A and B are shown apart, each in its own frame.
Chain A
Amino acid sequence: MWYVLVILVTVFGVLGVAALSTMLERRLLGFFQDRPGPNRVGPFGLLQVVADAIKMLFKHDWIPPFADKTIFVLAPIIGFLCVLLSFAVIPVTANWSVAGDLNVGLLFVFGMMGMAVYSVVLGGWSSNNKFALLGGMRAAAQMISYEVFMGLALMGVIMTTGSFALNDIVAAQSHCWFIIPQFLGAIIFLMAGIAETHRLPFDLPEGENELGAGFHTEYSGMKFGMFFLAEYAGVALISCLITTLYLGGWQGPLLPPVVWFVLKAGFLICFFILLRAALPRPRYDQLMAFGWKVLLPLSLLNTVVTGAILLLRASA
């Protein structure tokens, strides 16, 4: 019973957060640009989410006749499912998570993120549209290569903790958040996370000015909405992961653990939005070059140095 409750709360929590962050994003972007953003529907414009949802649901859900129907329908579902499943292992508090003490929790998240690539690639490919295909290809290259640095950046944390379980990682940060010893790793993880969720400034798969809307050019209605929910849930996921891995998870003084977790993750979501407001999109080759020529050596360096220090400590 408890288990079902946890699952339900997680699923609807994630959905709610994803929906709300669409609205939060528009409000914050507005403030960053000296305008109020959507503030008409309901108090503070909060009901904008509902209005958007209604609009999405009632829109003509069109499948282009030249598309590969099965895959076209399947792609957004895969994307959304992968992100949603990843939330299963996020420990919101010490004993609130669907599978927080899964001993390969981090690997599971990575597996799911790897699967999420399929959603954009298949979406781009089944649309049978050259812009969508280009977007899908970009997404594949970008997400696969950035996943490498993401994993490597995490090595430091995993080596220090000696465990893949997210609960253990949180527990290991009771004295000192990993962002201090693993600062480089945290920065690399953050950047890779942005690329992974293909958010601005790394949203080349959907770069409007050159690709229309990239991989979801042909999507409309709720299928398009699913892609977007998946993107925002992805942002929430990366924020939760950074919180758990580098910011001490639910640990914090005075306030109850849930509040700490939500505060930290919420702060990170806002930071993601700030990045979107502040930074221009790089060129595609710049993005790849930055990944392989800067982030890869840096994350390797991070791994090596962390390993050396750990070995020295162990021998001392």
Chain B
Amino acid sequence: MFGIIRTIWMTFLHLFHKNETVQYPEQKPYLSPRYRGRIVLTRDPSGEERCVACNLCAAACPVDCISLQKGERDGRWYPEFFQINFSRCIFCGFCEEACPTYAIQLTPDFEMAEYVRQNLVYEKEDLLISGPGKVPDYSFYNVSGLAIPGKGKGEAEHELAPVDTHSLMP
């Protein structure tokens, strides 16, 4: 009996509490930089596309919503097209984890509603941004052993010159 009256009273007091609601469209909540929202493709510090079309993200994606086609230019791989179907994407972030080049990144933006479902399929033009995203200094070709024009074998950062397999010297 007392419990009931106390409950009623405590509920009544909630009338004078502050609202917890965030009035969303006018009042935006804080989203941390690692929030998993709209996906972007970033560029390396020299302004080249980071993506090397390795297809790892497409393989990692649990809902198979990434599709891309490899192309080759100056010995560098790049995606000829790169589509993400955001009507299927579950924003799990696996693609970001799988990517060896930090090319694909999730951003703190979720306001991507569309009236036509087809518009949710983002092409490379929609995905590609001009900056390096969350990892400003990383450039895959500068640390990888692959030879590209302007950088031969063994010239990458932290890389030793290749071993001469024909020499017997230690």
Tally chain A residues at the interface, Cβ within 8 Å.
12
Main secondary structure of the interface of B (DSSP, over half): helix
- Residue B158 is within 8 A (CB to CB) of chain A in the complex: no
**CB–CB B19/A32 < 8 A:** no
Roughly how many angstroms separate A32 CA and B10 CA in the complex, as a whole number?
9
Q: How far is the CB of B22 from chain A (nearest CB, A)?
A: 10
- Given A35-B20, A35-B21, A36-B21: A278 and B11 interface contact (C-beta under 8 Å): yes
A279: interface (CB < 8 Å): yes
B23 contact set on A, CB distance < 8 A: 36
In the complex, number of A-B residue pairs with CB atoms less than 8 Å apart = 34
Mostly helix, strand, loop or mixed at chain A's interface? Answer: helix
**Which residues of the partner chain A approach B8 to less than 8 Å between Cβ atoms?**
274-275, 278-279
Q: Is A279 a contact partner of B20 (Cβ separation < 8 A)?
A: no
Q: How far is the CA of A32 from the CA of B17 in the complex (A)?
A: 8
Residues of B within 8 A of A278 (CB): 7-8, 10-12
A1 to B12: give the CA distance in the assembly, Å.
45
Report the separation of the CA atoms of residues A31 and B7 in the bound assembly, to the nearest whole angstrom.
15
Q: How far is the CA of A36 from the CA of B14 in the complex (A)?
A: 12
Asked if B4 is an interface residue, CB under 8 A from chain A, the answer is yes
Asked if A277 is an interface residue, CB under 8 A from chain B, the answer is: yes
Please give the distance in Å from A37's CB to the nearest CB on chain B. 9
Contact between A34 and B17 (Cβ–Cβ < 8 Å)? Answer: yes
The reply to whether B7 and A35 contact each other, CB–CB distance below 8 Å, is no
Q: Is A33 in the interface zone, CB < 8 Å from B? A: yes
Interface residues of B in 1-34 (CB under 8 A from A): 4, 7-8, 10-12, 14-15, 17-21, 23
Contact across chains for A36 and B15 when beta carbons are under 8 A apart: no
Chain B residues near A275: list those with CB within 8 A: 8
Report the interface size class on chain B.
10 to 19
Q: How far is the CA of A274 from the CA of B14 in the complex (A)?
A: 10
A34 to B20, CA, bound (A): 6
Check A279–B4 contact: CB distance below 8 A.
yes
Q: Which residues of A contact B7 (CB under 8 A)?
A: 278-279
In angstroms, Cα B18 to Cα A277, docked, is 17
Please, what's the 1-or-0 string for B101-132, where 1 marks a CB less than 8 Å from any CB in chain A? 00000000000000000000000000000000
Q: Which chain A positions have C-beta within 8 A of B12?
A: 32, 274, 278
- B12 nearest CB neighbor, chain A only: A274
Judging by beta carbons under 8 Å apart, are B14 and A34 in contact? yes
Chain B residue numbers with a CB within 8 Å of A277 are: 11
Q: Mark A34-55, 1 if CB is under 8 A from B, else 0.
A: 1110000000000000000000
A residues whose Cβ falls under 8 Å from a Cβ of B: 28, 31-36, 274-275, 277-279
23 inter-chain pairs at a CB distance below 8 angstroms, sorted by A residue, are: A31-B14, A31-B19, A32-B11, A32-B12, A32-B14, A32-B15, A34-B14, A34-B17, A34-B18, A34-B19, A34-B20, A35-B19, A35-B20, A35-B21, A36-B23, A274-B8, A274-B11, A274-B12, A277-B11, A278-B10, A278-B11, A278-B12, A279-B8
Which 10 interchain pairs have the tightest Cβ spacing?
Answer: A278-B11, A278-B8, A35-B21, A278-B7, A34-B20, A32-B14, A34-B17, A277-B11, A31-B15, A32-B11
